[in-house]
Structure 1
Amino acid sequence: MKSIRRLYFYLVAFISVEVVVWGLIGLLRSIVDRTISGGADALAQALALILVGVPIFLVHWLWAQRTSAREEEEKEATLRAVFLYAILLATLIPVVQNLLSFLDRALVQSAGLGVARAFSAFRNQTLADNLIAILMNGIVAAYFWNVLRAEWGTLKDQENFSEVRRLYRYIWMLYGLLMTVFGTQQILRFLIYIPGDVLGELGREVVVNGTALLVVGTPVWVYSWRVIQDSLADPAEMGSNLRLGILYLLALGGVITVVTASSMTVNILVTRLLGADWTLQYFVHQLGGPISVGVPLGLIWAYYGHWLNRHIEAIGDKVRQTGMKRLYNYILAFIGLVVSFVGVATLLSFIIDVATSRSFLMGDSNSLASAISSLIVGLPLWLMTWRPMQAEALVVGEVGDHARRSVLRKTYLYLALFASVIGGMATAVGLVYQLIRVALTGDAGSNFVNDLLNTIQLLFLFGVVLIYHLNVLRADGASMADSLAEKQSVFSVLIVDSGDGIVDSVKAALLKSGSKMQVTVTTPAEKPEGDFGALIVGGDVAVDAPAWIRSFGGNRIIVQNEAQNLLWAEDAAQAAESVQRLAEGQEIQKKKPTRSAWTVVAYIFAALFALQLLLMLLAFGISLVAGF
């Protein structure tokens, strides 16, 4: 109940303070420059926002302040930290944006280009508009900054605030980095360009706008990253999953964009070498797009890839280190496999087209260039990332066992199998369709041989991918089964029979999993002779265990059961909730607690979100190439 109430008050306070801030900005803008700001309509709108927003904000914010001062739980709540840091973002980012707007227009005008050549979002703004927005947002940000600083001085438990602050810092770092990368891309795009006589081509405003982005974005990025790096003395910051995730995203996003840009660059070069009728200006213009994107993203890949490796190396556990490196390698290996497959398929299709048509056209050269560029980029990428993973899996010992059991390796292999099976099935359907259609109609058509050969070569390639990865999967399974069987055969487990069917249940589960371990059954009153690695006992026996069970030196595994008046809680919070329900006369189900379905859903969506970010970075790189 408190969480829902807290969410309501802070959410309303956040929305209302933003309404008030932008109402004040609109009011001051209408006073300073009525013609630009809309006159009476703008004034009425601003006053309405202020008159409605102020009382609503005060009611909810003052309640939050009183509750925070009275209750330590409210002061340390994650939602309060989210509110305070979100307010700082919502006010300071507009400050930076208005500073960028002013600087961009100033640089464009100083270059003699006119305000119309600035970024489209900034063209209709004035210096007064920017200063008012900076002033009002700055005042609100200063107030909440002081509130936040005072909070840090009185917090007993700073964990919640530390986690939100960590996210706040990384948001600023990514924001500054995005401006820096985009500004660098704009400048490089202009430098790799030969001016022509066509109206609407790239002009000096590109380099001017890029300079504005660099001047504003670089200090934001450098300062934010320096603050993050300085905080690594705290073990919680160094071991943060957020840091690891950000480093992965930046390194992978950089390498994926570089691979895409490299493929496009090679494609352009090969097309030119094959005799494309391009002028020098058009050729340089084509090269400028992918190079201007690939260079800054390549630097991002190199820099954050370096810090990712250092982060992984700082972990003392070798098994964890290799596991963290697998994610990076398997993602790149799968991308390399797909690009290589496309390259080989395109090359074979080109050969078939030339053989069946007995001519070489300009369209064929484009196909050949695409095939060569895909192979030049994709095949080395796949070999450089897949071969180390395969070599690791072939190692005899603990390292090889962990590599073969890796979820990432299984995911990669089954993705390859899935793609090859589905692709092969679709191709086989197309092949059978063509044959049946010709058999029924008797009309093969002029392109029958070409289409038939292209379908067969695709089916062959899907078959090669399927057979190769299926053999790898089988080899992993055989090696893993032998290794696990050897380990299980020397492991002994002791099951304490309490008469509730626990022995039969455990034996059935072991039999189902194909376990080879040695199982011994005893009773609570009888201590068996022997050396056992683990002991399995029911919960009713565990709470009133005899001395020999309490002094057992190995691992003790407790199975929850339906013992009378024995309730199981996962943690202190669940225990407190159970006591509260008992006090209110409610019944508590005596069953083994299971992981919430929402937790599983959250994990799935987190993984999908991470994948979406990677795809967005890739799309961003492609859009820059296509659009600039």
Structure 2
Amino acid sequence: MPVVRRIYVYLVSAISLVGVTWAVIGLARLIIREGIGSGQVIGLAGWLAVIIVGLPIFLFHWLMANRLAADPAERGAIARKIFLYGVMALGAAPVAANVYRLVDNLFLALLDGRPSTGYPYNLTTGEHLVAIIVWVVVWLYLWRQTRIDRQILAAMPAQTAAPEEPESWLDIIEQDAGGVRRVYLLVFALAGLVMVTWGGLGLLQVLMDQWADPQFWRTPVAHHTAQLVVGAVLWAGHWLLLQRAFFSGRGEEERSVLRKLYLYLAVFVYSVMALSGGATLLKRLLELAMGAPPSPEPLLSQLSIPVPMMLVGGVFWAYHWRVIQKDAALAPDIPRQAGVRRIYSYLVAAIGLAVLLTGVTGLLNILIDILTASRLGLATYREETALFAAMVIVGGPVWLIPWRAAQRIALQSGPEAEGERRSIVRKIYLYLYVFIAAVGVFGSAGWFVFRILTLILGADLPGDFLSQVLRALVIALLSVGVWGYHWWAIREDGRLEQADQARRLKEVRVAVLDGGDGHVGQALVRHVRQTLPGLEPVMVALTETAAQAMSAPLFDDTQADALKGARYILGSWQALTEEPVARLVEDSAAVRLVIPTAQPNWVWAGVKAQPVEYYARQAARNLKQAIEGDSITPTGEFNVASIAAIVIGIWLFLTIISSFLGIIVNMGFD
């Protein structure tokens, strides 16, 4: 089925099915609530009109889709999968919502709480059951269709060729037989996990804060208990299906990038939650240790925010980290999974270092204030000191643990270490902190110059000039330390990478062929030398013109022997198919990187025409990928859009870091 037609059929089917389903629910709810009478003519007519019009539209398009699905390949189309699992998701969401409200009403009745009066909490039990029953029927029908599709696809001959390297998240899902199903399961597992988290946090907070006042705790306890129960069922049901699929031994489950993304996202969020709670609790303990007066609030009320965050965050952090460890023992990471792991590790390290530096800067600034203002003592800064000390105690390990683990891998030798050092995530982390530190140094130096110029020009110095000088000095020294350490890490990565590359290049033989005017051969040799310093390709010239342009001898027996021993052969398709090298190239076991040069009446289907320099640059980069053991894929060229995306990404990261630090500081002063 053509792609546009397929999208049209499934999109109309989805819209009409969802519309008819809600119309049936609305009609049934209207009858349950108010019965059938003359006063309900407009409501009845409206719902019936949707059913009468929408049902034939759905049946027509759905029957068309199933008729076209007689071709087994059609059942594997991503548009069909998105339709089935998308509508199942649209049905499962209201089922979960209505079940939650029923359970909530049950707990409110048991605990004698006060029910909410607004929509949808004012719906009757019958109205909730109608939505559940109708959507469950639709969901079961679609689920049966997914099972039939999977059985038919499983009976098809297995693909023997290796799958292509995916270029986008859509490619990851489309190439993965269970990708859309996995997205569906992960989304609802995540939704259930969020409900469990909020329910657990809210329940613990209410029990600790309002346990002595039964007039206020009954209703929130009912709400949070319902969240906890329904969320636990939703999360456990979908997560167990994912776990069963993983332990079934199917390769696509073990290679799933989406699973790793879910796990590391959960570990990151719950680690931040647990550590934030721990930092808040530690801050209060430090205040008490420094002589702060006890709070008039009961002890449990004081602990009602940090303790639930530590307990809930710690439990789920430990669980998901254990799952990651078990996954790694059963199925080592593939490159894209390792990329997700690196994003998590370096993001945690970046946040930990930001928290640590903020704490150290705050403590040193407090020390400066105490030294330069003799009338003030440590008691004046008790709250700030406790906060910044807690940030140092928490931020240090949060930065050091993932950073040392990454460094331990990067400083070793082998493919894993090479992948770690070449990781774009690692480079972003290192250069981001080098940039931030450089800005800190420049800002401090600029401030000093500004003050010196104002003094020379006769302006009066502020009363707290010494304090300002020392604060600027603190920022400058910390910035120099951060810059120096991360610059050393960058230089060390470069040194080790050069050593690895030199070792690899000793064993590599590359031949560059040119059977024309030498322009292609010149471009290839130049870009190979630029991309892989130290590698000297063997130049094979098939014409006198090419030999003169490339400063290479004309093809002879010596070059024929070099061509036979080459591991990589580069050249235009005309050169690789010309005599006397055509037979040598055909019999060779080398990897051939072919330049699609133009020739009249010959068209490279699907390949955009580019200058020779572009193809030569791509061939050199592909050669580097092959030598380093990576998959050979086209490398993107930087343009204005790419640069803008990088700038926006860095800005968003800095915004997130600033917001996170602001949240911690605000929590500390609450």
1:211 aligns with 2:225: yes
Q: Equivalents in 2 of 1:398, 1:171: separation in Å?
A: 34
Task: Tell me what 1:226 maps to.
Answer: 240
Q: Equivalents in 2 of 1:260, 1:46: separation in Å?
A: 53
SS of alignment partner, residue 535 of structure 1: strand
Q: Equivalents in 2 of 1:221, 1:31: separation in Å?
A: 34
Q: Equivalents in 2 of 1:318, 1:33: separation in Å?
A: 56
% identical aligned pairs: 24
2:572 to 526, 530, 538: 538
SS of alignment partner, residue 192 of structure 1: helix
1:518 aligns with 2:532: no
Q: Equivalents in 2 of 1:484, 1:366: separation in Å?
A: 53
Deviation at 1:48, TM superposition (A): 2.6
Instruction: Work out whether residues 349 and 398 of structure 2, in 8 Å CA contact, stay in contact via their aligned partners in 1.
Output: yes
Alignment of 1:63-78 (within 5 A): 63-70=61-68, 72=71, 74-78=74-78
Task: Tell me what 1:11 maps to.
Answer: 11
Task: Tell me what 2:130 maps to.
Answer: 132
Task: Tell me what 1:585 maps to.
Answer: none
1:547 aligns with 2:583: yes
Task: Tell me what 1:189 maps to.
Answer: 205
Change (3 A) 1:328 1:92: closer
Instruction: Work out whether residues 181 and 296 of structure 1, in 8 Å CA contact, stay in contact via their aligned partners in 2.
Output: yes
2:594 to 558, 565, 576: 558
Q: What amino acid is the match of 2:421?
A: R
Change (3 A) 1:127 1:366: same
Change (3 A) 1:548 1:347: same
Instruction: Work out whether residues 207 and 217 of structure 2, in 8 Å CA contact, stay in contact via their aligned partners in 1.
Output: no
Alignment of 1:257-272 (within 5 A): 257-272=273-288
Q: Deviations along 1:520-574, whole A, 9 cap, x unmatched?
A: 12246645224333222321233566211111133222222113444334xxxx5
Change (3 A) 1:148 1:510: closer
SS of alignment partner, residue 107 of structure 1: helix
Instruction: Work out whether residues 529 and 535 of structure 2, in 8 Å CA contact, stay in contact via their aligned partners in 1.
Output: no
Deviation at 1:260, TM superposition (A): 2.1
2:561 to 519, 522, 529: 529
Please, which moves more after superposition, 288-297 or 92-101? 288-297
Task: Tell me what 1:584 maps to.
Answer: none
Instruction: Work out whether residues 113 and 219 of structure 2, in 8 Å CA contact, stay in contact via their aligned partners in 1.
Output: yes
TM-score (norm 2): 0.78
Instruction: Work out whether residues 496 and 522 of structure 1, in 8 Å CA contact, stay in contact via their aligned partners in 2.
Output: yes
SS of alignment partner, residue 593 of structure 2: strand
Instruction: Work out whether residues 538 and 558 of structure 1, in 8 Å CA contact, stay in contact via their aligned partners in 2.
Output: yes
1:424 aligns with 2:441: yes
SS of alignment partner, residue 302 of structure 2: helix
Q: Equivalents in 1 of 2:120, 2:449: separation in Å?
A: 59
Please, which moves more after superposition, 127-136 or 298-307? 127-136
Task: Tell me what 1:298 maps to.
Answer: 314
Change (3 A) 1:8 1:448: farther
Q: What amino acid is the match of 2:130?
A: I
Q: Deviations along 1:283-339, whole A, 9 cap, x unmatched?
A: 532322122123222222211112222323334579999776544432222122111
Task: Tell me what 1:568 maps to.
Answer: 604
Q: Equivalents in 1 of 2:65, 2:20: separation in Å?
A: 23
Instruction: Work out whether residues 19 and 50 of structure 1, in 8 Å CA contact, stay in contact via their aligned partners in 2.
Output: no
Q: Equivalents in 2 of 1:143, 1:383: separation in Å?
A: 52
Please, which moves more after superposition, 373-382 or 209-218? 209-218
Deviation at 1:412, TM superposition (A): 1.6
Q: What amino acid is the match of 1:226?
A: L
Q: Equivalents in 2 of 1:559, 1:541: separation in Å?
A: 10
Gaps of 5+ in 2: 157-173, 543-554, 619-633
Instruction: Work out whether residues 250 and 304 of structure 1, in 8 Å CA contact, stay in contact via their aligned partners in 2.
Output: yes
Alignment of 1:173-572 (within 5 A): 173-193=189-209, 195=211, 203-232=217-246, 233=248, 234-279=250-295, 281=297, 283-316=299-332, 325-358=341-374, 359-360=376-377, 364-395=381-412, 400-437=417-454, 440=457, 442-500=459-517, 501-513=519-531, 515-523=533-541, 526=556, 528-530=560-562, 531-543=565-577, 546-569=582-605
Q: Deviations along 1:11-51, whole A, 9 cap, x unmatched?
A: 3332333333333333333332249x9x96x8735643541
Task: Tell me what 2:159 maps to.
Answer: none
Deviation at 1:422, TM superposition (A): 2.8
Deviation at 1:137, TM superposition (A): 2.1
Change (3 A) 1:541 1:428: same
Q: Equivalents in 1 of 2:337, 2:57: separation in Å?
A: 51
SS of alignment partner, residue 529 of structure 1: helix
Alignment of 1:606-625 (within 5 A): none
Deviation at 1:89, TM superposition (A): 1.2
Q: Deviations along 1:579-619, whole A, 9 cap, x unmatched?
A: xxxxxxxxx85886967899998xx79x979x99x979x98
Change (3 A) 1:46 1:349: farther
Instruction: Work out whether residues 107 and 226 of structure 2, in 8 Å CA contact, stay in contact via their aligned partners in 1.
Output: yes
Q: Deviations along 1:399-436, whole A, 9 cap, x unmatched?
A: 54444333332222111112212343344444544554
Change (3 A) 1:214 1:320: closer
Instruction: Work out whether residues 98 and 130 of structure 1, in 8 Å CA contact, stay in contact via their aligned partners in 2.
Output: yes
Instruction: Work out whether residues 231 and 237 of structure 1, in 8 Å CA contact, stay in contact via their aligned partners in 2.
Output: yes
SS of alignment partner, residue 521 of structure 1: strand
SS of alignment partner, residue 293 of structure 2: coil
Structure scoring higher RCO (CA < 8 A, sep ≥ 6) equals 1
Q: Deviations along 1:345-370, whole A, 9 cap, x unmatched?
A: 01001111112222137651121011
Alignment of 1:150-169 (within 5 A): 150-155=148-153, 162-169=178-185
Q: Equivalents in 2 of 1:318, 1:496: separation in Å?
A: 35
Instruction: Work out whether residues 513 and 576 of structure 2, in 8 Å CA contact, stay in contact via their aligned partners in 1.
Output: no
Q: Equivalents in 1 of 2:142, 2:335: separation in Å?
A: 45
Q: Equivalents in 1 of 2:334, 2:92: separation in Å?
A: 42
Q: What amino acid is the match of 2:561?
A: E
Task: Tell me what 2:28 maps to.
Answer: 28
Deviation at 1:57, TM superposition (A): 5.2
Deviation at 1:62, TM superposition (A): 1.7
Task: Tell me what 1:97 maps to.
Answer: 97
Q: What amino acid is the match of 1:529?
A: D
Instruction: Work out whether residues 521 and 571 of structure 2, in 8 Å CA contact, stay in contact via their aligned partners in 1.
Output: no
Task: Tell me what 1:582 maps to.
Answer: none
Deviation at 1:622, TM superposition (A): 6.8
Deviation at 1:378, TM superposition (A): 0.7
Instruction: Work out whether residues 510 and 569 of structure 2, in 8 Å CA contact, stay in contact via their aligned partners in 1.
Output: yes
Q: What amino acid is the match of 2:114?
A: G
Q: Equivalents in 2 of 1:75, 1:318: separation in Å?
A: 28
Q: Deviations along 1:45-73, whole A, 9 cap, x unmatched?
A: 56435414652453255224214313535
Please, which moves more after superposition, 382-391 or 434-443? 434-443
Instruction: Work out whether residues 434 and 452 of structure 1, in 8 Å CA contact, stay in contact via their aligned partners in 2.
Output: no
Give the RMSD, CA atoms, in angstroms. Answer: 3.9
